[in-house]
Amino acid sequence: MKTVANVVYNDFTNDSRVLKISQSLMTLGFQPIVVAVHNNGLKERESVGGVDVERLKLIVRHWSARKPVQLLKYLHFLLLSSWRFRGVDIVHCNDITALPVGVLIKIFGRKAAIVYDCHEYQTEINGLSGAKQKVMKLLETWLIRFADQVCTVSDSIADDYARLYRIPKPKLVLNCPFYQEQPPKNLFREGLGIRANQNIFLYQGGFAKGRGIELLLEAFCGLENDDNVIVFMGSGLLEPLVREKADKNKAVFFYPAVSPDVLLNYTASADFGISFAEDSCLNHRYCLPNKLFEYLMAGLPVITSNLVEMKSLVDSEGVGVVASTNTVEGFKAAVKETLDRDLSGMKENAVEARKKYCWEEQEGVLKEVYNSFLYKC
């Protein structure tokens, strides 16, 4: 049985893609182990969802957050993980921080095969610029040539990688949830006191800059009535701002993040899902967020910002409305258009689309990738 080190440079406490890939690899007859970073309160070794996990203790993990110290922490992870797992057959590298681990194992270990799994457009993420961006691009340009297979999360990113690095077009493995027949629920109305005649718009996910949080707050805080309300479910840097607006405005509600095993019950308690990333970088412009597929799995029509990949999916599947402009006014117009459209038709399309945009379909692509290694490793 071929062994796979599924390497991720985080503590693996909330990384559904890495877990799904590992579970799929087990189904396909491989023996995966997730390699992650240890943090306080976590086990060094455990089984999560039937998958073995090993978190590596780093000497400098409790030191300051200064950049030189963080670099030492990363170098320790790089050396420790590549030495500890030098005997595996395949290294699945999640994002560019894990790719050097695979390269070291390939050069100095058992000549392992490498899958480079780009969860984002690695060199074009929000806030990355200047010298740091140039270093990242040079690093990726050099390291990606060691990869035997490359996967990514949207067609536009795959096209750019093929063009920039002169490699075969990366395989498209979308970040979809497992398929399930999710019936409508009423948890938000019951838990937050939202009336039956109010339309619930849901934003779920991280409260981070660049994801349209401030814009959405401005839009709903400026409404003349509370016929339409928004629920922000999640956590993150902007949580204090969301809580403050929720305390002061009757059209804004906050709900803390819930565990993945019950997430879709809450998602299905809304009327519409919102994914409103700002057009602040190529990574956003080309993104297909996992929350978009979660909304569809829960049978929700969606409202999205006017970005390349999200617009293409929403328009082609007829599952919602794309804002004409990525502004407060554009979003308000999209809300009005959504309410004026045939809601039952969009819901039917969302239910149908979830059969296509589910992890079981992505597993088929993963099988193609890993079948290419069966007689090579």
CATH number, residue 164: 3.40.50.2000
Examine the domain organization and report whether 20 and 129 are in the same domain: yes
pLDDT surpasses 60 at 368: yes
In a domain, 377, yes or no: no
Q: 128 with 198, same domain?
A: no
User: Which residues have C-beta within 8 Å of that of residue 67, sequence separation ≥ 6?
Assistant: none
Residue 41 lies in a domain: yes
Domain identity same for 158 and 297? no
373 vs 20, more confident: 20
Do 62 and 89 reside in the same domain of the chain?
yes
Confidence (pLDDT) at 297: 97
User: Which domain does 105 fall in, by range?
Assistant: 3-176+359-371
Q: Are residues 345 and 367 in the same domain?
A: no
Residues 192, 226 within the same domain = yes
Q: How far is CA 311 from CA 9, 234, 300, 352, in A?
A: 31, 24, 16, 18
Q: Does 181 reside within a domain? A: no
Q: Is the dihedral of CA 37, 40, 43, 49 positive or negative?
A: negative
Q: Are 193 and 150 members of one domain?
A: no
246, 253 contact by CB (below 8 A): yes
Taking residues 281-303, report their average pLDDT.
95
pLDDT tens column, 107-165: 998 789 999 999 999 999 988 889 999 999 999 999 999 999 999 999 999 999 999 99
Residue 43 CB burial class (10 angstroms; 0-12, 13-18, ≥19): exposed
C-alpha dihedral (354, 355, 358, 360), degrees to nearest 10: 170
Question: Residue 236 has what DSSP assignment?
Answer: S
Q: Which of 176, 171, 243 lies closest to 213, judged by CA?
A: 243
Please check whether residue 182 lies inside any domain of the structure. Answer: no
Report the number of distinct structural domains present in the chain: 2
Residue 221 CA from chain centroid, whole number:
28
In a domain, 225, yes or no: yes
Instruction: Judge whether 54 lies within some domain.
Output: yes
* Pair 366, 290 in one domain: no
Q: Verify that 148 and 206 share a domain, yes or no.
A: no
Residue 192 and residue 87 share a domain: no
Instruction: Please name the residue that has the structure tokens 């070794």.
Output: 45
Predicted TM-score (pTM) of this structure: 0.92
In this structure, the number of other CB atoms found within 10 A of the CB of residue 324 comes to 13
E strands present in 58-209: 90-94, 113-117, 149-152, 171-172, 199-206
State which H helix or E strand residue 332 sits in. Answer: helix 328-340
Mean pLDDT confidence for 1-18 = 94
Mean pLDDT of 273-295: 94
CB 189 within 8 A of CB 219: no
Question: What span, in angstroms and rounded, lies between the C-alpha atoms of 67 and 76?
Answer: 14
- 109 in a structural domain: yes
Tell whether 376 is covered by a domain: no
Q: By mean pLDDT, which of 14-18, 30-34, 360-364, 367-371 is the weakest?
A: 14-18
> Are residues 8 and 45 both part of a single domain?
yes
Same domain, 27 and 81: yes
